[in-house]
Structure 1
Amino acid sequence: MYIQWKKIIITTLDLVLAFYLIMAVTSWNNPDENSQLCTKVDINISDANNAGFLTAGEIKHILEKDHLYPLNKKMESINPRSIEEALKVGPFVKTAQCFKTKNGHVKISITQRMPIIRIKSQHGSDFYLDDNGGILPNSKYTSDLIIATGNIDNNFAKSYIAPLAKTISASPFWLNQIEQINVLPDRGIELVPRVGDHIIFIGYLPYNRYKNTREREIKAFVTKKLSRLEKFYRYGLSQAGWNKYSYIDVEFDNQIVCKRRDSEAEKKEAEALKEEAKKKDSEVQQRTEEQEREKARKEVDQQEHTSDGPTE
């Protein structure tokens, strides 16, 4: 059989040349990691400027503590998986992703567990709950969150207070209005508003052993109570006065029970308001008298200056 050696040789040379070109282009586009150093670390944290615990500096500190911070290290020695695992150990990290780029950069993306309420129970516990009901340890976090106090254990906090707080937080109006949740010894729920000198009793959160059903029922229960209370705020308290009642009970669907403030307390408040108004009137009058005296003094000075002028 006749073998076309010339054709075989040419084909082989073409393949070798093509392989060489591919390897050359690859080497140009992918610098040798044996000599390339990490020149920049990009750390991106979700909600870093909103209400989170973490900062880029804290991420750097965590990695430095484990000798994993990649800056100025050889790219070949940097293991993205090790960085991810080290960050996921932190109690405030929800997810962590890390990857290397061809230009010597390392990019780290963090999503964090977001606190929605602070628990300070009568038993001495002090911690945060995230939006999934998970417990976050106490820290230097100082954001203006709702505080839950009273008869709260960890299970009640995760199973009942967390969905209650999520429902309140879903409404901008109630998120700004409610500053405290108090759990009574019998697990009744009181709300303490920012505006108005009164306490709100909404009743008892629905019990259910199944998480999804329980959370759905609590959301419906709280939404209904707050909707009725908002109407009472708009059409009741706005007319009667925000400080007329000391206790507002919306436990039952067909009525709102209000307890008037103590008559002596109302009298003292009225006297205090009257005294404050009198003080303001006195200050206004004093400023007016001082202005009149200053005006008169200027007029006298002007007349004296005119009389001392040159005469013909």
Structure 2
Amino acid sequence: MEKNKFYKQFQSQKGITGIIVLLVIIAITILYTVANKNKFNNTGEVVINVTNYDAPRFVEDTEIKDAISKMNLDRKEMDAISIKDIEQSLNDIQFVRKAEVSKDLKDNLVIDIEQDRPIARVVSASGKSTYINKEGKLIGLSKKYAARVVLITGRGADRLLDEKYWKDTVYGRNLLYFVNKLANDRFWNAQITQLDLQPDMSITAFPQIGKERIEFGYPIDFNQKLGKLKVYYNTIVSSKGWNVYNKIKLQYEGQIVCN
């Protein structure tokens, strides 16, 4: 009788011990998974996705793979590397706006690249040139493609080669807002092809269609100025046709001056 009682107690203790061991194994597995979720082990493939914004692709797969290769991810002795380190390396590539790296269920390294989008090209009087993005960041030029964006030229354009000018001056911030407006509006993006900055930083625009010089003045109240320019196209051009006037002046409040 006592022997049976002892046997039952032993079995019960054995069952509890087994449960404890199982729980410990599960806990260790969870901790290991959490500790390594941001690590890449080189057992899968590299999958690259690039968003294009319906524009030329400035970021090529070869550039991404070269950056990955320089990190020696294919070395067998390297067990793991931080996902954040990979993202930082990819973010340093020209025209990469944002890189996100993750792993899928097949152990592939999935790289999602948000491509930077030029909204204008600055061409200074000294011959220097660069694209800018929507935040006013200078992102250089591409050797592969030319973006169809508004040109910013003239003697005043040299100031725009300093990235701080776009961010730290009232004029720069207003001009950036104006250029973003042109870039994101289908009609104006197609119609206005060049902004020429005069020595006093006033703006003269040149259209895709027509020979008119459009004097905007300074980049203030440009919504009203664009509204007046649209009135010009819808009324004067529709009734008299193109190339009737040489200059369209929009800088005067409440009126359009044509000569």
Please state how far the C-alpha of 1:107 moved relative to its aligned partner.
Answer: 0.7
Structure 2 residue aligned with 1:301: none
Given the alignment, which residue of 71, 80, 90 partners 2:93? 90
CA distance in 2, matches of 1:145, 1:182: 14
Structure 1 residues 1-312: aligned runs within 5 Å: 4-16=9-21, 18=22, 37-47=42-52, 49-51=54-56, 53-64=58-69, 66-68=70-72, 70=73, 76-140=79-143, 141-150=145-154, 151-152=156-157, 153-154=159-160, 155=162, 156=165, 159=172, 160-206=174-220, 221-259=221-259
Mapped contact 1:39–1:71 kept (Cα < 8 A):
no
- Cα distance 1:164–1:51, how it changes in 2: closer, same or farther (>3 A)? farther
Equivalences, count: 232
Higher relative contact order (CA 8 A, sep 6+): 2
Return closer, same or farther for 1:188/1:124 CA change in 2, 3 Å cut-off: same
Deviation at 1:38, TM superposition (A): 2.9
Alignment check: 8 A CA contact 1:38 1:75 kept: no
Offset, 1:101: 3.3
* Counterpart code for 2:97: K
Task: Give SS of 1:148's match.
Answer: strand
> In structure 2, how many angstroms separate the alpha carbons of the residues matched to 1:161 and 1:123?
21
Q: CA deviation at 1:39?
A: 3.6
The amino acid of 2:195's aligned partner reads I
Q: Which has the larger radius of gyration?
A: 1
1:256 deviates by 1.5
Q: In structure 2, the residue corresponding to 1:76 is in which secondary structure?
A: coil
Amino acid at match of 1:250: L
1:99 and 1:195 map into 2 onto residues whose CA distance is 47
Q: TM-score, normalised by structure 2?
A: 0.77
Q: 1:20 Cα deviation (Å)?
A: 9.3
Are the counterparts in 2 of residues 100 and 106 from structure 1 also a CA contact under 8 Å? yes
1:45 maps to a residue whose letter is: V
Q: 1:71 Cα shift?
A: 6.1
Which letter maps to 1:136? I
| SS state at 1:180 partner | strand
Q: Which portions of structure 1, spanning 4 or more consecutive aligned residues, are displaced by more than 4 angstroms? A: 2-6, 19-23, 70-75, 155-158
Kindly, what percent of the aligned residue pairs are identical? 28
Deviation at 1:134, TM superposition (A): 0.9
Q: Is the 8 A contact 2:118 2:147 kept in 1?
A: no
5+ residue gaps, structure 2, are 34-40
Q: 1:81: Cα distance to partner?
A: 2.5
1:109 Cα offset (Å): 1.5
Q: Cα 1:163–1:138, aligned 2, differ >3 Å: closer, same or farther?
A: same
- Cα distance in structure 1, aligned partners of 2:222 and 2:58: 28
Q: Distance in 2 between matches of 1:14 and 1:184?
A: 81
Partner of 1:265: none
Shift of 1:119: 0.1
RMSD: 3.0
